[in-house]
Structure formats: C-alpha cells, structure tokens
Structure 1
Amino acid sequence: MGKVAPPVKKNEEIELVFEDITHEGAGVGKVNGYPLFVPNALPGEKALVKVIHVKKNFGFGKVLNRIQVSEERVDPPCNVYEKCGGCQLQHMSYEMQLDMKRKQVENTLRKIGHIEGIPIHDTIGMEEPWRYRNKVQIPVGSKNGELITGFYRQRSHDIIEDMDRCIITDETNDRLVEAVRAIADRLGISAYNEETHRGVLRHIMVRTGQVTKQSMVVIVTRKENVPELDAVVKEITKAFPEVKSIVQNINPERTNVILGRKTKLLWGEEYIYDKIGDIQFAISAKSFYQVNPIQTKKLYDKALEYASLTGAETVIDAYCGIGTISLFLAQKAKKVYGVEVVPEAIADAKANAKLNQIDNAEFFVGQAEKVMPWWKAQGLHPDVIVVDPPRKGCDEAFLQAMIEMKPKRIVYVSCNPSTLARDLRILEDGGFKTVEVQPVDMFPQTTHVECIALMSRVEE
C-alpha cells in the first residue's frame, strides 16, 4: 500500500469548523480526520483558513476570515496581543480559560498517568485576572537613535516598538520601566546590541510588593562602570517615593540569560518586602518569589488544607525555594524540613524564617533525592511530604526516596500537568492513591496551569 498523502496542501485555503482546543490555546479543526492547528480560533467557530505548514499527521494554519464566531470570543484588550505571544488566551472569555485548564489537567492525568475517577475540581480563578504580575523584565533596544523597550515578538528577538504597557503586570512596574528608559535615553546611555555585543543597557527589571507596594528597580548592564547611573538614581528616587531599592546587575556575557552573576546596590535597601497571608518575605534582585501572590495565597491555603496538620506532624518540603510553602506549613506543623539545591534560596529561606520568628523550620542545601535517603538513615519519619518541583517534575530517585519514607500524605504542587501525571503514576505504583486534584490559575490570559494533588498512602 502506498502512503496516504495529507488531504491539504501548503497555501491552500479551506473552510474549517473548530471542534477542540490544544494545551497551547490553538483551535483544532479536521479535514477528513487530519487535524489542523490554528491560533486564535475557538471551538464552535467556522473560518476561512490558509494552510501554512503540512506534516504527515497534522498541519498548521492561520485564520483569514471568521464565518461563525463563538460566544466565548472576546476582544483582546492588549494592543500588541497578536505580536507578543506572552499571553495566548486573551481572545477567550475568562470562564472558558478556567474550564479549558481544568479539562487539560483531567485529560493529561488520564492519558499519561491513567488516573481517572477522582475529583478534579473547577479551576480557582481570579476576581480580577489582569495586572497581577509583581515582576517585569523588559529588554532594551534602539531605533532611530532612541532607546526603546518592549517584549520580543513571538519567536524572535525583535522588540515590539509600540508597546507602552503590559496589562498583566502591576501598573507601577510599567511606569518605572518607562521612566528608566526615558531618563537613560536623555542621558545618552546606549542600548546593548546582541549581535555586536556592544552597548550598555540590556534589560530593565522591576519588582513591586503586592501588599506593601514597595518597588525595586534592577538595571542590567553589559559593563560595571556606567557613570550616568548616578543621575538615573537621583531622578527615579525623586519622582517615585515607592522605590526602596535600586540595583545594578552586571551581565558581560554573550547570552540570552537576563541576569549576570554580579549585583551592586546603587541606592536604598538590598531587599524589598512583601506579604503572603501572615508571612512576610524579603525579596532581593535575584530571589525567586511567586509572581502572582494573590493566587499563591489560594494555592498555599489549599496545600495547608491537604496537609491536614494538627501541630504534631513532621513535614518535609522538597524544592522549598525561599521557604514560601515551608513557612506556611510551619505555622501548623511540629517541625518542617526544607531542602533546595540553590544555596542563595536557602540563605533567603533562613532569613525569612528569622524575619517571621519561625523557629520550627530548618533548611538544607542539596538535591532532594540525595538528602532524603540520608534523612531516612538518620531516623527521620515525615508524616507529610510537600513537593513543588520545576517543570521537569521530580527526579525518579527522589520519587523512590519518597515511597520508601512512607509518609501518610503527599501534597504535590505542579506547574506542568504532564510531569505531574507521570510522577503520580510512579507514586501510585509505589503504594499511594491520588485522592483529588485542584487546578489554580496562577497566570490568567496564558496557557499555564498550576495544580495541587493530594495523595494518601494505601494501608498495607
């Protein structure tokens, strides 16, 4: 039998009805069973589509003209939405976004983890799903001899010029980025050029405490000696009383990593402060801190609920970062042990414990999969283990260490449903049962979904 050619050709124009949506937010329509993925298309819509790319089993297209429009479609309020790519779902009603995220978690757990028949709750959303990000980092470029700032266009390093705000970030951050750009431009500070590796100003980063409203400005430069920065500091501190810290970060490398190794305090304090619930956090230029504290509070409240602490439990918090979840848990646990591979994060965690006068949390630098067996050998028997791994999920050796420690409960916080499903399957095979899963919308208008799973050990 000869191989069957795809039923569409590149550059062909076809009418397509969309019946589904991908995890990336693209509409899915089929031609004789052959799926076409089309951005900015919603289920229930019909459109004239141009075929852009044809592969053996699927293709990609773009909408030329909408013939039928979904009731869930909304006008994106951002003027650069289609160029930027930072948000993928602004054309979709917020209710539909939340529903899509719940379905994504449900489908992924079923397909990858073979986990079904358990409650997967409605996604916890935001009352106001805009202006939620407390941190922004914006590249600097130049056009016609002037400095410009803006995110990169999708799949490029071209700065979007007509971008004067980002409506998912704190308004103060927008104003401060624009102020630093305008002052630097007036003072003749040159923009860094990736291709020639010349120029000075690479990025402007701003963090603002969601509760405290304190701001930190981080100016990322290619070289350390930039005399004009004194004048930038003077103007910013005069115009913006909420700024408590101005920092220079020096990144001399040819790299697309934003921050370099060296950080220098130019003015004010080394930290700004913010609160999540009753816990206060000191945040430095390089601290990892959740970008959406309103939703983080909801996520951690759920983690506390799942941990079911009475005050008698020993808890391990693996991948503890700067101690955010650990300090929440310590309010209700007998003892919390946090482990994290990044030494600076552990230094921050210890400082945050001290700041909140919490003395029943201990923090250790190391890889969780190596520290856990050592703890077990020392006779540490946790009642609850909380994990919040990076997108790649948990290391297999770490999952085995958890299984061997036999806690009563595991609370798994995940930013990637695929690796969550894979890891839950391993834990289920190792004697645990997934009880329920709660998706939380930490990043409205984007395709990202965070979720939290409760597992309990099956009694032998």
Structure 2
Amino acid sequence: MQCDYFDAGACRSCTLMGTGYAAQLAAKSARVRALLDPAVPPGAWLPSQANVESGFRNKAKLAVGGRRGAPTLGILDPLGRGVDLRHCGLHEPGLAQAVPAVADLVAASGLTPYDVPARQGELKHVLLTWSPDAELMARFVLRSPGQLPRVRELVPALQAAVPGTRVVSANVQPEHKAVLEGPEEIVLTRADTLPMRVNGIRLHLRTRSFFQTSTAVAAALYRQARDWAEEIGPSTVLDLYCGVGGFALHLAGPGRQVLGVEVAPEAVLSARASARELGAAAMFEVGDATAYLRDRPAPDLVVVNPPRRGIGSLADRLEASAVEHLVYSSCSPASLAADLRRMPSLRVERARLFDMFPQTDHCEVMVRLRRV
C-alpha cells in the first residue's frame, strides 16, 4: 500500500507501511506464535485469516483541528495541532467518499474546531461508521451543548450529501483529557441504531456500541467460532463480554441455550433487538462478566471477547470451574498469553490469527480450549 500522508511524514500511525502485505502477515504470525508458545502448540495453529491491505476500515475516528471554516479531520500532532487525513486509504470505499463530504459540511457549518493547546473551541471529534448496506452513522463530539443547534442543522445536509446517512448524534465531552467521548449523547435522527449485516445476521449498533474494525474479518471471526461450536456440540453456551451479540447470535441454534452477558446496557438492548428479528433462541443480560460464573452451573461452552486488558481474575474462576470448553477471542496476544498461563487445566486445541488491522502490528487471535 502506498500512502501520500506517510510518504510526507504527516502520519506514522501505520507502522508497517512500506512492507509488503505477505511479509507483514508472515512476521505478525511468527511474532504471535512466539509470544503464545508454549501455551499454543505448533500443531494447533490454523492458517491465518488475511485481510485486504487497504480499504478495510469500517470506521473513522477523526480528531478535529484547524480553524473555523478550514477544519482538519484526522489526527493531532505532538503539539496538539490538527493534521488532515480525510483521504486516508484505509477506509472502506463508501466511508472514503463520506469522510470528505462530512469535512466539507463541517467547514461550512460555522462550528469551531477545538484547539487542544488553547483549550478553546467546540468540535472535538467526528466519529463515522459505515455498514455493509451502505449506511452511515455520524457522531459529532462537542465540548458543550451550546453548538447543538449547528449540528442539528447539519443533519439534512449530511443526508443529502451521503444518502445512506441513517444515524446522526451529538456527544458532549466537556473535560479536557484524552477521552474520546463524554457521558451525554443526543440522537438527532429517527433511527438510533446502525444495522451491521454480518453472515446474514443484522447486528444493531447504537452510538456507543463496539464493533470490529474490519467487517469482512469480523465475519470470518464469527464463522470460525460457529464452526468450532458445531464441532463441540454444546447444549448450553455462555458468551461473556458479549457486546451487541455477535458471537452469541452466530452460536444460537435448535436445542441450544445461549446467554450473553455484557456490562453496557445499550449493547444488551441492541443484542436483544437482533435476537427478536432473527427469532434466535438467545438471551442477553446486563451483568459483570468477571463475576458471572460465581455460584452458577457451568455451561458446556464459554465464549469470551474481552477488552485489551484480558479477562484477569475471570481466568482463575474458569480454571476452578467445571467448564469443559472455552473459546477466547483476543485483541491483545500479550494479555491472552498471561490469561492462558492462569488456566493450566484448559489446553489449547485450535488457534487462529485474524488480521483485523493491516499496516500495523495489531491483530485478533482466537483460541479454542478444552479441559484436560
């Protein structure tokens, strides 16, 4: 992949830029295998799931800089000044067309970009998500609700410029700190969810819902978990850190009880909506994944997809439990390795790398474990 921003020294986010994709994937696979050795024996590894080297990102998290009428949408440099990346080659084709259109609308809106060094201005970030059905969710992060009318006025113009615009919201982040969004969200459209169709299943994303960066690789990840579950044949499945229900809904089927647990109420509402649409026999509850196994019967299969920090003390509970099978999807091989060391009674049978983030060292790794 060739990138003008990288060549000009404007952006160094893609640390592997300039390395051929095949070499990237081979080096990433070797590094992850070495990190997870000896918990994952060589014979457990399946071929890595490749990605396309560009045009794969379904989301754009754009810091806003510059000045009123001439904003930059991209990143901030070490001094907090805006660097415009509106033509980043990582974005999916539909998203790549939407980003410049949004940037032009922001320039014409009268919104003042937030100046980090001066701690002045209003518009901090623009967060965009693109769906497989060519629909857009656009979120505008403001320092205060005072500029909400200007964002509200953007809605019809955005819907005209990007016909697939489905959800538009304003998020209020009043604090000056490195936190992307604040606690208050105002949805400005009739629709409040963005459907993400994956393997024929419509997952519903609300404004703060998490979804994987690459839709195609997320689909492969879910298919692999489904295939492993079919090999195991569980009657009961517990999906911890279930998010909007991607794993749980792919594993639901006749004669199988599936329960998803997630701490975020909005994600649980989304998962329940998808289950109703599908007629899937999957239930979802708001709860703390780390404590959920306590004083409950062990399911046949547990699925975990935790944040980057891993499962921590949940690994100890799984080790002490009667759970026979575990599928662990991780965005951090380092925390996965630490968690596997805490579960010596659960042996890795299969493992696979999913290249969710080409041009960087990051990846997703999923392992299937069985109690010995």
TM-score normalised by the chain length of structure 1: 0.75
Cα distance change, pair 138–169 in 1 and its aligned pair in 2 (3 A)? same
Letter of the structure 2 residue corresponding to residue 440 of structure 1 = F
Letter in 2 for 1:147: P
**By how many angstroms is 1:283 displaced?**
1.4
Q: Which residue of 1 aligns with 2:332?
A: 416
Q: 1:212 corresponds to which residue?
A: 133
What percentage of aligned pairs have identical amino acids? Answer: 28
Judge conservation of contact 1:180–1:232 (CA < 8 Å) in 2. no
* 8 Å contact from structure 2 (residues 169, 186) kept in 1: yes
How far 1:409 moved relative to its partner?
1.6
Of the three residues 219, 222, 226, the one matched with 2:143 is 222
1:388 to 294, 305, 323: 305
Give the number of aligned pairs.
369
Q: Secondary structure at the match of 2:76?
A: coil
| Distance change >3 Å, CA 232–CA 407, structure 1 → 2 | same
Q: How does 1:267-346 map to 2 (within 5 A)?
A: 267-308=189-230, 313-331=235-253, 334-346=256-268
- Aligned equivalent of 1:140, options 59, 64, 79: 64
Shift of 1:218: 1.3
Letter of the 1:373 counterpart: R
Return the structure number with greater helix share. 2
Whether 1:449 and 2:372 are equivalent positions in the alignment is no
User: For 1:275, what is the secondary structure of its paired residue?
Assistant: strand
RCO comparison, higher one (Cα < 8 Å, 6+): 2
Note if contact 1:135-1:207 (Cα within 8 Å) is conserved in structure 2. yes
Whole-Å separation in 1 of the counterparts to 2:197 and 2:224: 17
SS in 2 for 1:423: helix
TM-score under structure 2 length normalisation: 0.92
- What is the alpha-carbon distance in structure 1 between the residues aligned to residue 284 and residue 41 of structure 2? 36
1:250/1:117 CA distance change after superposition, 3 Å = closer
Cross-structure match for 1:248 = 170
Name the counterpart of 1:92.
19
Task: Output one character per residue of 1:105-134: Cα deviation in whole Å (capped at 9) or x when no partner.
Answer: 211012xx55544332331102x3321111
Q: Residue 80 of structure 2 corresponds to which residue in structure 1?
A: 157
1:118 corresponding residue in structure 2 = 43
SS of aligned partner of 2:343: helix
Shift of residue 156, structure 1, vs aligned partner = 5.4
- 1:183 corresponding residue in structure 2: 105
Contact map agreement 1:251 1:261 (CA 8 A) in 2:
yes
2:289 to 357, 361, 368: 368
Q: Which has the larger radius of gyration?
A: 1
Q: Distance in 1 between matches of 2:82 and 2:254?
A: 47
For 1:435, the equivalent position in structure 2 comes to 349
Helix, strand or coil for the counterpart of 1:186?
A: helix
CA gap 1:177/1:418 in 2 versus in 1, 3 angstroms? same
SS of residue paired to 1:374: coil
Q: What do residues 35-63 of structure 1 show as CA deviations (whole Å, max 9, x unaligned)?
A: xxxxxxxxxxxxxxxxxxxxxxxxxxxxx
- Residue ranges of structure 2 left out of the alignment (5+ in a row): none
Contact residue 288 and residue 322 of structure 1 kept, 8 A: yes
Gaps of 5+ in 1: 1-75
State the one-letter code of the partner of 1:105.
Answer: V
